Amino acid sequence: MRINPNYKLREIAGEVIIVNQGQADVNLTRIISLNASARLLYERLSDKKFTLQDAAGVLVDAYRIDAVQALRDATVWADKLVQCGVIDAE
């Protein structure tokens, strides 16, 4: 998997959102907002290929949760961003 480099994190009015900077006529009515753990994953895994296990490892290291829960959470995060086109599943 890889995060599409056209998407960038921005903080607006206290919310962390993802915006697509690589496409003209972007539909701005669809906003992707990230919580703290989703932002952490996005920042740590940007600019590189990664697996769900890599993402789970980030969560385990940061939050000291068990690996099974971390993999579940990482899967939900990745699935949502794949649906939105932010992550290329490769």
- Each domain of the chain, given as residue ranges in start order, spans 2-84
8-state DSSP, 86 = S
- pLDDT the model gives residue 81: 96
Structure confidence by residue, pLDDT tens digits, 28-80: 556 799 999 999 999 999 999 999 999 999 999 999 999 999 999 999 999 99
Best CATH choice for the domain 2-84 from the list 1.20.120, 1.10.1060, 1.10.10, 1.10.260: 1.10.10
Residue/partner pairs of 73-78 with CB below 8 Å, 24 or more apart: 73/37, 74/41, 77/37, 77/38, 77/41, 78/1, 78/52
- pLDDT the model gives residue 51: 98
pTM (two decimals): 0.90
Categorise residue 34: left if φ over 0, alpha if ψ from -120 to 50, beta otherwise: beta
> Could you give the CA distance from residue 32 to residue 30 in angstroms, rounded to a whole number?
7
